[in-house]
Structure 1
Amino acid sequence: MTIGYLPWGRPEWVMSRPCLRDSRHELTYAEVARRADAVATQLSEHGIGEGDVVAIMLPNRLELLLVILAAWRLGATATPINPVFTANEAEYQLRDSGAALVVNSGPGAPTAGLPSIAVEALRAEPAGVVPDREVRPEELALLIYTSGSTGRPKGVMLEHAHLLAMTSMLSDHLQLTDADHCLLVLPLFHVNAICVSFLSSMLAGGQLTVLERFAPLPFLEAVERHQPTYFAAVPTIYARLAELPADVVPDTSSLRFAICGAAPVARELLERCEERFGFVVVEGYGLTEGTCASTCNPIDGARKFGTVGPALPGQQIATIAPDGSILPPGEVGEVVVRGPNVMRGYLNRPEETAATLVDGWLRTGDVGRVDEDGYLVLVDRVKDMIIRGGENLYPKEIESVLYGHPAVLEAAVVGVPDPVYGEVPIAYVVAYPDVPVTAGELLDHCRRNLTKVKLPVEIHRLDALPKNPVGKIDKPALRKALQPR
């Protein structure tokens, strides 16, 4: 099996093409391969070889990608760490992953006592020859840690076979070619940015421009300057773009499409972005445990707003009843996924792996239904469900109604304990700038669209909703704020 996203061993005409750039560097495929070899010789001098784990705690920059490639060159595994983690959070991942070395920003960065290499000290030219070895599909490529919203973060084990299956599916579905150019803005400690932006563009022979962080105006300036053909983002980013003043009129004509994923998004927000910026936005769905994506609306085919699209080629998606039986189309149940992209398991957690990988299916913990055309409609997370007086309420349904009000930019609904009903829903809303709306108006809007049992007991206006490191609305933080002190 040829692993086509690796930069070395490609035809000569590919090697001279632009490959990676950020604000510091611009490298061809040949230069990327050489720089990866240079870092590989440095890692090798620190004893890194087959089966070892290299941790990388850096913000978005080319060196992060070069270290990943260098680790793979040696048969090692990479585990990227959120660069804003506290010492406690970073050291947990360093210890749990069994990392032998960490590449970081330099003095003061957490190391858990491990040997480290500062990013500025990374080698640019090889010192010696890297062993000529073949990267094998069954080798462990990445250890990506879950967000830990339901407990301590777990290391998801992804082999090169999983990454190759995922990037091949994405490249096929998105019709990527060597003419495509991705603008990467999501954090590289997450599998979305690694697979959708980095590896998929590498597999297609295209190019990647890496932005260190997102801010609306600099992002649009980067679109105008670099002329990318696509990007992937989370709903929060589209919300920040949609709220820009009307006199901001960027040139986005180079963009073939954009992808929205990682969290539920309102139809109104996607339509607003499409109308304003003129590019197609396709919504997709997936988990780290499924190596990123399992469904996605097509770019050219039938896009169904309110769904996250059909299964990607090579995957199956279904819903199951509580007894594990597969449900017919239209029936609501837990979403399950099957395909060559599903993880090996959780590192050193056999019981949790066994509970998640059941009879060949990945149990997602999401609730949804598959329609008659095979498109997945997400209802909510199992753990987010609110039981009000014996009635099951899904916050996403209430949020969708709130998003239907023209003043609402973002919304989140969580359950709070209640002495009579057990739990009741409370809503938090962020409005578009300079659009006046009261909590009473929003509640009236809900009354017109929801039965009484689904009405939030309170609606709070906020300037911003808390976000986790990946950009999703942080519902655990909202629930924690509601706990009695």
Structure 2
Amino acid sequence: MLPTRLPDLHPLDGPLDGPLDGPLQAIADLPRARALRDPSGAAVVDGDRRLDNTGLAAAVAELGDAFAAAGVGPGDTVAVMLPNRLEIVVAMFAAWSRGAALTPVNPALTDAEVGHQLDDSGAVLLVADDRGHEVARGRAVAVVHVDDLRGTSGAAPSTTPTVDPGAPALVVYTSGTTGRPKGCVLTHANVDAMVRAIVTHLRLDAADRSLLVLPLFHCNGLLVGVLAPLLAGGSVVVAPRFRPADFWDLVEAERPTYFSAVPTMYALIDAHTERAVDTSSLRFVVCGAAPMPADLIGRFEERFDVVLVEGYGLSECSVAATINPLDERRKPGTVGLPLPGIDVAIASADGEHLPAGERGEVLVRGATVMAGYLHRPEETAATVVDGWLHTGDVGYLDADGFLVLVDRVKDMVIRGGENIYPKEIEDVLYEHPAVLEAAVVGRPDPTYGEVPVAHVALRPGASATPDELRAHCAAVLARFKVPADVQLHAALPKNSVGKLLKPALRG
């Protein structure tokens, strides 16, 4: 296992009292730079394992040496397939120290799906547990077993890694909800721009401590949960598998100042909390990955006395494009303002940019937009046009420039010529006190062509009938928007990031 601490390095200017500003290479060089400035400062916590800055730098150096011995060099790709644990963070920095990119693999994937990612990414080495050896069998992929990362008495490297801004840093595979997963190539310039924008917008500093509850095979966990606080001079707590029943125990024990989660997680935390909790360490919390009902935002903020800022983005723009501000301008129910250096526009079907208040496809432009989909030039060209990333999401900008999401373009239901956005119905369902999760999809209909159908999971101990939920919708929505059917489920299907899987409901 990795050490809890290794011998000190020579400090430069004392403790971290601010972000590690500087050239682009500062992101890839964070472990070494932090060890030089504050050798014994907290870096990463994972259960009872606590790496200070020296320990993190030495662990990165050790694994980087192992990568070098395996022949990993500039232009290569290293894969890591592990549940959330600090070795993923170490592997990321170690790959960068060798000039290689990292592709994080979701361990919940089947062997065939893992094999596709290894083959498609061209990974030359895999960091994994016992399963990794079996999946890599027959492929030209070396394997480093996580249990062999023992740590040495060696120090961190004394030289800064050379970073090419245009070289791949991460190859993050999409969830595959709209087809076979594609590798989004995020360069070092993309990562640098994204992380610095998050630090600036959320006002992160050395006092901040992130509680990482999202998976590290996704760029939200890696960039918002790990790199942003480390760049700001703060620290990271890697949470074990998300468990709403004892979530607050971890918050009270580790005293984070923020965490980022998805709407389903917030709903589950709210539903499973049965005691008074201490949230005084939290400066704010972030919600992303899917729109969060305004009712749930207000309920969570009031109950737990914490500011919740909703954001929006996707892997193709290095995770975030907009986030609500932390000050009085915050608008719950919107997904906020564009991050520094990022432009957001709304376009009609023919590509014309629309004025405030008009609905259309959300476009994103800036230094955070991916280099492209790996090995897929045609799909890249169709997705990034003249520098604008076409997201496939429908929304509008209000008079103050805040983005309001309406729905996915492909999720729209057309009933007898009337356009119905499922999110509008879902928001109404979430206002019912018995509803925990809601998803609305279209179902073929011989008369109207398509009708909306609601799939609902109820809160623990709550009860409601389909007729009651339809009546609840009918009291608020136009008749043609009322679900033709409401189906109750114990839980709705979700992907590994916690996003609801509507294709599985269309069946």
Common fold by TM > 0.5: yes
**Of 388, 397, 403, which aligns to 2:415?**
388
The residue that corresponds to 2:224 in the other structure is: 196
**Of 190, 193, 207, which aligns to 2:235?**
207
8 Å contact kept, 1:41–1:126? no
The residue that corresponds to 1:50 in the other structure is: 74
The residue that corresponds to 2:53 in the other structure is: 29
Q: 1:403 to 1:56 in 2, by over 3 A?
A: same
C-alpha RMSD over aligned residues: 1.6
Establish whether residue 4 from structure 1 lines up as the match of residue 21 from structure 2.
no
Point out the more displaced range, 410-419 or 101-110. Answer: 101-110
Deviation at 1:109, TM superposition (A): 4.6
**Of 186, 189, 200, which aligns to 1:172?**
200
Alignment partners' CA distance in 2, 1:431 and 1:128: 54
Q: Secondary structure at the match of 2:170?
A: strand
Alignment partners' CA distance in 2, 1:64 and 1:47: 20
Where does 1:246-257 land on structure 2 (aligned, <5 Å)? 246=274, 248-257=275-284
Q: Secondary structure at the match of 1:3?
A: helix
Alignment partners' CA distance in 2, 1:435 and 1:103: 44
Code of the aligned partner of 2:185: M
Deviation at 1:136, TM superposition (A): 2.9
Point out the more displaced range, 41-50 or 123-132. Answer: 123-132
8 Å contact kept, 2:395–2:404? yes
Q: Secondary structure at the match of 1:7?
A: helix
The residue that corresponds to 1:103 in the other structure is: 127
Alignment partners' CA distance in 1, 2:101 and 2:202: 28
- Aligned residue pairs total 479
8 Å contact kept, 2:128–2:143? yes
Deviation at 1:128, TM superposition (A): 10
CA shift digits 1:270-290 (9 cap, x unpaired): 111111111111000001000
The residue that corresponds to 2:13 in the other structure is: none
Deviation at 1:176, TM superposition (A): 0.3
Structure 2 gaps, min length 5: 1-22
**Of 303, 308, 318, which aligns to 1:291?**
318
**Of 184, 191, 195, which aligns to 1:163?**
191
The residue that corresponds to 2:468 in the other structure is: 441
**Of 380, 387, 397, which aligns to 1:370?**
397
Q: 1:265 to 1:472 in 2, by over 3 A?
A: same
Code of the aligned partner of 1:45: A
Deviation at 1:12, TM superposition (A): 3.6
Deviation at 1:367, TM superposition (A): 0.3
8 Å contact kept, 2:32–2:157? no
Alignment partners' CA distance in 1, 2:451 and 2:153: 61
8 Å contact kept, 1:41–1:129? no
Q: Secondary structure at the match of 1:93?
A: helix
Point out the more displaced range, 4-13 or 114-123. Answer: 4-13
The residue that corresponds to 2:98 in the other structure is: 74
8 Å contact kept, 2:35–2:57? no
Deviation at 1:24, TM superposition (A): 4.3
Alignment partners' CA distance in 2, 1:60 and 1:245: 24
Deviation at 1:234, TM superposition (A): 0.5
Alignment partners' CA distance in 2, 1:439 and 1:10: 56
CA shift digits 1:386-422 (9 cap, x unpaired): 1111211111011111112222121100111112221
Q: 1:35 to 1:405 in 2, by over 3 A?
A: same
Establish whether residue 273 from structure 1 lines up as the match of residue 280 from structure 2.
no
8 Å contact kept, 2:25–2:162? no
Alignment partners' CA distance in 2, 1:115 and 1:287: 31
8 Å contact kept, 2:44–2:235? yes
**Of 423, 427, 436, which aligns to 2:450?**
423
Query: What is the percentage of aligned positions where both structures have the same residue?
Result: 51
Code of the aligned partner of 2:233: G
8 Å contact kept, 1:439–1:461? yes
Q: Secondary structure at the match of 1:449?
A: coil
Alignment partners' CA distance in 1, 2:289 and 2:433: 23
Deviation at 1:130, TM superposition (A): 6.1
Deviation at 1:3, TM superposition (A): 3.2
Deviation at 1:139, TM superposition (A): 2.1
Q: Secondary structure at the match of 1:383?
A: helix
Code of the aligned partner of 2:26: G
Q: 1:241 to 1:11 in 2, by over 3 A?
A: closer
The residue that corresponds to 2:12 in the other structure is: none
Point out the more displaced range, 439-448 or 120-129. Answer: 120-129
Q: 1:59 to 1:224 in 2, by over 3 A?
A: same
Alignment partners' CA distance in 2, 1:159 and 1:177: 25
CA shift digits 1:119-169 (9 cap, x unpaired): 001251277996944223222100000011111110000011111110111
The residue that corresponds to 1:398 in the other structure is: 425
8 Å contact kept, 2:58–2:155? no
Alignment partners' CA distance in 2, 1:111 and 1:79: 15
8 Å contact kept, 1:41–1:128? no
Where does 1:321-336 land on structure 2 (aligned, <5 Å)? 321-336=348-363
Alignment partners' CA distance in 2, 1:129 and 1:74: 14
The residue that corresponds to 2:85 in the other structure is: 61
Alignment partners' CA distance in 2, 1:95 and 1:212: 29
Q: Secondary structure at the match of 1:8?
A: helix
**Of 151, 156, 169, which aligns to 1:124?**
151
Q: Secondary structure at the match of 1:20?
A: strand
8 Å contact kept, 2:60–2:156? no
**Of 362, 384, 390, which aligns to 1:357?**
384
Establish whether residue 341 from structure 1 lines up as the match of residue 368 from structure 2.
yes
The residue that corresponds to 1:231 in the other structure is: 259
The residue that corresponds to 2:8 in the other structure is: none
